């Protein structure tokens, strides 16, 4: 019976199994939340990367053309009738300086194109195709060698900025010619010359060598590079020794008291003070009080040194801290003085870390703009500075000035300058990374 009942009830139970009650702990919901959270994170990382990509793409796509400059190959006849009509060149040296050199280029262009340049309108359009920089180019040729007068030379002259933009396809040629800067006649000539290979893009050495210019095609950042180089040299000479000395004191010698605490808090704060405040300091102390000249790379270098000092101190202290105490104990144990221990053993071991920190600090200083604006580096400097006391600009300041120019061709120039600046920064940072990889020691 019991068997029966058991066997009778068993199939019943198997037919209608007791419902297992899963306590709802929301696992589905929680996993969904988990996936959402993960996606948000991924999206955030991707947005960050996309921003970087957009930034670089925007700069590079606008700027890579700046390294090519449209030039025209012309057979220029140095006609005595134009340069020196009255034959006064030997008696009056101003004649050669003031001669109408652009006319030579215009004539040569007319001859190449086979058009009549005696028509004033045609002549104006022809001269509009050639950069005004041709004046100094031809003048320097004549001043270098007066015997050139009367002869013919084949040289490359720069095309005007608008022709350059048109040749690079940056000007929309479908709009009516009254609303763009190159007219149809000029475009036709341009295409004809380009077809013959007379007008072509050549590597732009001017952007590296020239000084400031109000004409985009002859503007370059040579002066800015020299200025930046002076400043970096000053930062290196001042900030590195002072920064290392300060870190050695704080890390190895300083007693733990309120004074060193104060210095520590101070250094951390200085690292976070807005850079423009350093510019105000430089203006008030170095220019107004000490009477140093405005726009000089010396003042810029001093200001940037003060700014870089905290970065170098923080990096150096980290590098000193990483040297294990056993090295110090060993040196002291065999009778070195504390000073000998630091300078003969700890410092050499910390050197790679210090160097890396210094390079990163220098890279920061190289890209810094705001303080330099205040000490008068926003200046139109066409002449190369011979000493750090001469007026100069800096790479980022040059970028700032070009960014404020209205002309279309300056956008390309600015982007080109940014590419150069970023190349410098990349080179410095990669050097720092390589140094770290090669020399970093783990104890």
Partner 1 sequence: MSTTTILSIVLVLAVVAYVLGRTTAKRRAAASGTRLHSREGYYGSFALLWTIIPSLVLLAVWLLVSPAVIDTAVRDSFPEHVKAETQATQGLAMGMVDSIARGLRRLDEQEMTRVTAGFSALRPVLASKGVALAGDGEDYMIDAAIQLNGWSDASRLWMTICVIGLALAGLLYAVWRIRPEVRARNSVERAVLVALIGASAIAILTTIGIVLSMLSETISFFRSVPAMEFFFGTVWDPRFAATVGTTSSDGQFGLIPLLAGTVYIAFVAMLFAVPIGLFAATYLAEYAGPKFRAFAKPLIEVLAGIPTIVYGFFALVTVGPFLRDLSADISGIVTGNATSFIQAQSVLTAGLVMGIMLIPFVSSLSDDIITAVPRAMRDGSLGLGATRSETMRKVILPAALPGIVGALLLTASRAIGETMIVVLAAGVAARLTINPFEPMTTVTVKIVNQLTGDLEFNSPQTLVAFALGLTLFFITLGLNIYALYIVRKYREQYE
Q: Which residues 106-165 are close enough to bind partner 1 by CB under 8 A?
A: none
Q: Give the x-and-dash track for 415-434 against partner 1 (CB under 8 A).
A: x--x--xx--x---x-----
How far is Cα 100 from Cα 139, in angstroms, rounded to an integer?
9
Helix and strand element counts for the chain (H, E): 20, 3
How far is Cα 332 from Cα 339, in angstroms, rounded to an integer?
10
249 touching partner 1, by CB under 8 A: yes
Query: What three-state secondary structure class fits 404?
Result: coil
* Residue whose CB is less far from partner 1, 37 or 203: 37
Chosen residue from 235, 368, 392, 409 binding partner 1 by CB under 8 A: 368
From the list 217, 232, 214, 208, the residue with the least C-alpha distance to 384 is 208
- For residues 377 and 392, the answer to whether their CB atoms sit within 8 Å is yes
26 touching partner 1, by CB under 8 A: no
**In the window 320-339, what residues touch partner 1 (CB under 8 A)?**
337-339
**In the window 44-63, what residues touch partner 1 (CB under 8 A)?**
44-45, 47-49, 51-52, 54-55, 58-59, 62
Query: What three-state secondary structure class fits 153?
Result: strand
- Closest separation between CB of residue 217 and partner 1, Å? 19
* Residue whose CB is less far from partner 1, 19 or 23: 23
* Residue whose CB is less far from partner 1, 83 or 313: 313
How far is Cα 280 from Cα 307, in angstroms, rounded to an integer?
12
**# residues contacting partner 1 (CB under 8 A):** 84
Chosen residue from 115, 242, 351, 389 binding partner 1 by CB under 8 A: 242
The crossing angle, in degrees rounded to 10, of helices 222-248 and 395-403 is 130
- Closest separation between CB of residue 133 and partner 1, Å? 25
* Residue whose CB is less far from partner 1, 122 or 242: 242
Three-state helix/strand/coil letters over 423-434: HHHHHHHHHHHH
How far is Cα 218 from Cα 206, in angstroms, rounded to an integer?
6
Give the binding range for partner 1 (CB under 8 A) out of 43-51, 100-108, 200-208, 327-335: 43-51
* Residue whose CB is less far from partner 1, 89 or 263: 263
Query: What three-state secondary structure class fits 199?
Result: strand
Q: How far is CA 260 from CA 12, 104, 115, 212, 350, in A?
A: 85, 72, 81, 47, 22
229 touching partner 1, by CB under 8 A: no
268 touching partner 1, by CB under 8 A: yes
- For residues 378 and 356, the answer to whether their CB atoms sit within 8 Å is no
248 touching partner 1, by CB under 8 A: yes
Give the binding range for partner 1 (CB under 8 A) out of 83-91, 221-229, 319-327, 413-421: 413-421
Chosen residue from 82, 198, 292, 403 binding partner 1 by CB under 8 A: 403
């Amino acid at each position: 019976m019991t068997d029966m009942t058991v066997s009778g009830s068993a199939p019943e139970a198997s037919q209608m199994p007791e419902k297992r009650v899963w306590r709802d702990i929301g696992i589905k919901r929680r996993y969904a939340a988990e996936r959402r959270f993960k996606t948000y994170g991924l999206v955030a990382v991707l947005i960050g990367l996309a921003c970087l990509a957009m930034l670089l793409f925007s700069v590079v796509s606008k700027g890579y053309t700046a390294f090519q400059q449209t030039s025209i190959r012309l057979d220029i006849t140095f006609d005595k009738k134009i340069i020196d009509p009255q034959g006064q060149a030997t008696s009056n040296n101003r004649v050669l300086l003031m001669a109408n050199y652009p006319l030579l280029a215009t004539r040569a262009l007319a001859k190449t194109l086979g058009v009549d340049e005696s028509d004033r309108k045609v002549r104006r359009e022809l001269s509009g195709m050639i950069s005004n920089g041709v004046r100094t180019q031809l003048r320097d040729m004549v001043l270098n060698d007066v015997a050139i007068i009367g002869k013919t030379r084949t040289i490359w002259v720069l095309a005007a900025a608008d022709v350059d933009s048109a040749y690079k396809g940056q000007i929309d040629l479908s709009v009516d010619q009254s609303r763009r800067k190159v007219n149809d006649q000029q475009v036709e000539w341009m295409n004809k010359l380009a077809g013959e290979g007379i007008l072509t893009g050549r590597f732009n050495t001017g952007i590296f060598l020239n000084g400031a210019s109000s004409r985009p095609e002859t503007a370059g950042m040579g002066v800015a590079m020299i200025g930046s180089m002076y400043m970096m040299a000053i930062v290196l000479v001042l900030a590195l020794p002072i920064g290392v000395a300060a870190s050695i004191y704080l890390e190895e010698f300083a007693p733990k008291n309120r004074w060193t605490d104060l210095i520590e808090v101070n250094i951390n704060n200085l690292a976070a003070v807005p850079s423009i405040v350093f510019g105000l300091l430089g203006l008030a102390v170095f220019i107004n009080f000490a009477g140093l000249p405005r726009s000089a790379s010396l003042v810029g270098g001093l200001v940037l040194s003060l700014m870089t000092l905290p970065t170098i101190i923080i990096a150096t202290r980290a590098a000193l801290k990483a040297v294990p105490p056993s090295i110090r104990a060993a040196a002291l144990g065999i009778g070195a003085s504390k000073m000998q221990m630091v300078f003969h053993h700890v410092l050499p071991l910390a050197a790679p870390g210090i160097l890396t920190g210094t390079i990163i600090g220098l890279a920061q200083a190289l890209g810094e703009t705001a303080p330099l604006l205040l000490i008068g580096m926003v200046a139109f400097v066409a002449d190369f500075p011979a000493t750090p006391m001469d007026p100069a600009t800096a790479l980022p300041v040059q970028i700032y000035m070009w960014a404020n120019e209205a002309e279309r061709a300056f956008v390309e120039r600015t982007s080109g300058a940014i590419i150069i600046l970023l190349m410098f920064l990349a080179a410095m940072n990669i050097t720092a990374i390589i140094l770290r990889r090669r020399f970093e020691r783990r104890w």
